[in-house]
């Protein structure tokens, strides 16, 4: 245990794992320095700088848009200036686990849109795959370059009371948040150079180059310099800032649907000199909206004929269509088995223990322990239909029991996890706040993981909800370099 108590006598992480004060041999002197340096800056100065940093985010328009009724408000993601620290060893595990998971996700997608071995071998129920709303029959028997379906993946990882990492969710469609990872680092470098002095971190500014390289690797044909574009729904999308950020970091045009046109199964963009061929589209548009000829006919955001051009092999689309079947809650429960099936490996980072109610054993356990478990319907997202056993009334538990028994296949249950905490600047001083981690994995021919990832933090005391729409903020995520011997205070 670091001797943080002399500096922060009131800081008490309780039974939760603290990402800063819990001793880890390979963290070197960094936690101690951080605590000392924060104390030297002092609370008033810390607050002043934090507020200046937030003003800067507003001035720079580093915002996401929240829509309510007829008004749209640009909000910043609240930024907490005390970084979250990951050691080199922790990162080694996280990195390997992320690559393992993305590899399995891609093999799974290639299989279910191809021969379907995993279903025939009885590892996963057929209806869970082929009856899934996110399964796209259009993708059947359509091979993708390098077998990569999920080019950009965000995996939500939490840490339990023992400090063990657990995967909470896979995001294999159009995961967002990576821009904050890089912006947060830049903001820290500008605002808190004295906090970071002498500490060697793995850099985060290679993301744009890596992403563009992956997009070039999947381009059709053998162009020396394929034309990559980023397809955005436009300025009214809540993640538009991130689209701009990524287009700039990649150095490619940001296009909207009306900029693109398909002619003779080839995709072109409308430039001042006329039509110009496009080879790879990094799209930040859901499957549904991509091509009104194939999906939603009323979509104004997409490009008519895009899927035709794709199937003709004349354009690459990232992420591929139909990846939603792999990050579904019901399929998530099978991920440990999916990893074993394709890779003959144990998952390097386990799922949160998940009881599958469509299986007799899982159902029995769930019903017996309803008051200790979190129950979730598989088809919903955004927290709908969830019952938190330990916090539920007797009536609520009865309702949950009835729902599960009526249709067990629609339910999973998980134990309640005490997310890890980290020191966070709050109104009443520096206190422990719960957080998670979303690393980003880019895959073309091979996978690469951006060091660190997005740390989301619940700014409210005791809250376990890190979502930006519900009062969550973010922190700079430090991955310490392997060799800390050169650091000096």
Partner 1 sequence: MSQMRFDPVLLARDAEGLFWMARYLERVENLARLIDVTQSFESPGFETDAWFGLIRINADEKNFAERGFSPDADHVKRFYLLDKGNPTSVPGNLEDARTNARTLRPLMSTEMWRQINMFHRFVSHITPEDLEGDALSRLCTKLKDGVQAHTGITEGTLYRDQGWYFYELGRLVERADQTTRMLDIKYTAMLPRDGEAKRVAELTQWNAILRGAASYHAFKRCTSASFSAEDVVHFLLRDPSSPRSVLLCIRRAESHLDDLRRIYGLSRADESIEVAEYLRALLLEKSIGHILAMGLHDYLDIVQIHIQKLAAAIGRGFFRDWRPEDPLTVMASVPDQSQSQSQSQGPAETVA
Binding site for partner 1 (CB under 8 A): 59-61, 225, 227, 233-236, 240, 244, 247-248, 253-259, 269-276, 300-301
Residue with smaller CB distance to partner 1, 286 or 353: 286
In the complex, minimum distance from the CB of residue 75 to partner 1, in angstroms, rounded to a whole number: 14
Q: How many CB atoms lie within 10 A of CB 32?
A: 17
Contacts of 456 (CB under 8 A, 6+ apart): 177, 435, 436, 437, 438, 466, 467, 468, 472, 473, 474
Q: To the nearest whole angstrom, how small is the minimum distance from the Cβ of residue 269 to partner 1?
A: 6
Question: Facing residues of 443 across strands?
Answer: 447
Shortest Å distance, C-beta 305 to partner 1:
16
Q: How far is the CB of 243 from partner 1 (least distance, A)?
A: 8
Pick the closer one to partner 1 by CB: 280 or 366.
280
Residue 89: CB atoms within 10 Å: 14
Q: Which is nearer to partner 1, 255 or 419 (CB)?
A: 255
Question: Radius of gyration over alpha carbons of the chain, in Å?
Answer: 23
Phi, psi (deg, nearest 5) at residue 283: -100, 140
User: In degrees, to the nearest 5, what angle opens at C-alpha 328 toward C-alphas 105 and 412?
Assistant: 120
213 CA to centre of own chain: 21
DSSP code per residue over 134-191? T--GGGTT---GGG-S-SEEEEEEEE-TTS-EEEEEEE-SS---HHHHHHHHHHHHHH
Nearer to partner 1, 285 or 373 (CB): 285
**Minimal distance in Å, beta carbon 230 to partner 1?**
8
Q: Which two tokens stand for residue 184?
A: 């947060």
CB of 249 to partner 1, least distance (A): 10
State the nearest-atom distance from the C-beta of 183 to partner 1, in Å. Answer: 11
Question: For residues 216 and 420, which CB has a smaller minimum distance to partner 1 in the complex?
Answer: 216
* Residue 30 Cβ vs partner 1, minimum distance, rounded to whole Å: 30
DSSP-derived pairing of the beta strands 79-86 and 274-277: unpaired
Of 277 and 329, nearer to partner 1 (C-beta) is: 277
Q: Report the nearest approach of partner 1 to the CB of residue 301 (Å).
A: 8
Contact 339, 104 (CB under 8 A): yes
Give, to the nearest 10 degrees, the angle between helix 178-191 and helix 240-250.
80
Q: Which is nearer to partner 1, 306 or 338 (CB)?
A: 306
Between 2 and 227, CB nearer to partner 1: 227
* Residue (51 or 470) nearer to partner 1, CB: 51
Unique residue bearing structure tokens 């053998």: 222
What spatial distance separates the first Cα and last Cα of the chain, rounded to whole Å? 20
Q: Which residues does residue 224 pair with via DSSP β-bridges, in sequence order?
A: none
């Amino acid at each position: 245990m670091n001797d943080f108590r002399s500096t922060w006598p009131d800081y008490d992480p309780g039974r939760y794992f603290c990402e800063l004060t819990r001793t880890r041999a390979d963290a070197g002197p960094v936690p101690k320095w951080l605590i000392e340096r924060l104390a030297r800056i002092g609370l008033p100065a810390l607050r002043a700088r934090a507020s200046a940093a937030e003003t800067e985010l507003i001035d720079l328009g580093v915002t996401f848009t929240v829509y309510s009724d007829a008004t749209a408000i640009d909000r910043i993601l609240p930024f907490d200036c005390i970084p979250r620290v990951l050691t080199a060893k922790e990162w080694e595990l996280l990195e390997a686990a992320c690559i393992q998971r993305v590899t399995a996700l891609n093999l799974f997608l290639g299989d279910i849109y191809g021969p379907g071995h995993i279903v025939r071998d009885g590892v996963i129920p057929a209806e869970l795959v082929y009856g899934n709303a996110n399964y796209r029959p259009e993708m059947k028997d359509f091979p993708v370059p390098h077998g990569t379906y999920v080019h950009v993946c965000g995996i939500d990882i939490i840490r339990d009371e023992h400090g063990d990492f657990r995967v909470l969710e896979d995001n294999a469609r159009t995961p967002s948040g990576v821009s904050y990872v890089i912006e947060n680092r830049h903001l820290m470098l500008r605002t808190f150079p004295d906090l970071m002095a002498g500490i060697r971190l793995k850099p985060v500014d290679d993301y744009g180059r890596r992403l563009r390289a992956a997009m070039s690797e999947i381009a059709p044909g053998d162009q020396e310099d394929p034309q990559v574009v980023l397809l955005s729904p436009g300025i009214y999308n809540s993640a538009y800032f991130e689209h701009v950020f990524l287009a700039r970091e990649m150095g490619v045009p940001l296009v909207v649907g009306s900029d693109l046109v398909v002619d003779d199964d080839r995709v072109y963009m409308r430039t001042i000199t006329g039509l110009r061929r496009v080879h790879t589209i990094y799209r930040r548009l859901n499957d549904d909206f991509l091509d009104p000829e194939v999906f939603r006919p009323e979509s104004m955001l997409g490009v008519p004929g895009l899927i035709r051009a794709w199937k003709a092999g004349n354009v690459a689309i990232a992420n591929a269509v139909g990846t939603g079947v792999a990050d579904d809650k019901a399929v998530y429960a099978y991920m440990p088995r999916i990893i074993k099936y394709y890779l003959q490996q144990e998952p390097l980072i386990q799922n949160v223990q998940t009881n599958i109610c469509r299986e007799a054993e899982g159902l029995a356990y769930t019903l017996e322990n309803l008051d200790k478990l979190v129950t979730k319907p598989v088809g919903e997202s955004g927290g709908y239909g969830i019952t938190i056993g330990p916090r539920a009334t007797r009536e609520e538990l009865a309702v949950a029991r009835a729902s599960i028994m009526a249709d067990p296949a629609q339910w999973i249950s998980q134990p309640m996890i005490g997310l890890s905490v980290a020191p966070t600047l709050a109104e009443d001083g520096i206190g422990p706040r719960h957080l998670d981690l979303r690393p980003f994995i880019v895959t073309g021919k091979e996978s690469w993981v951006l060091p660190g990832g997005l740390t989301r933090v619940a700014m409210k005391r005791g809250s376990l909800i890190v979502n930006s729409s519900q009062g969550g903020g973010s922190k700079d995520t430090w991955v310490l370099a392997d060799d800390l011997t050169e650091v000096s205070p």
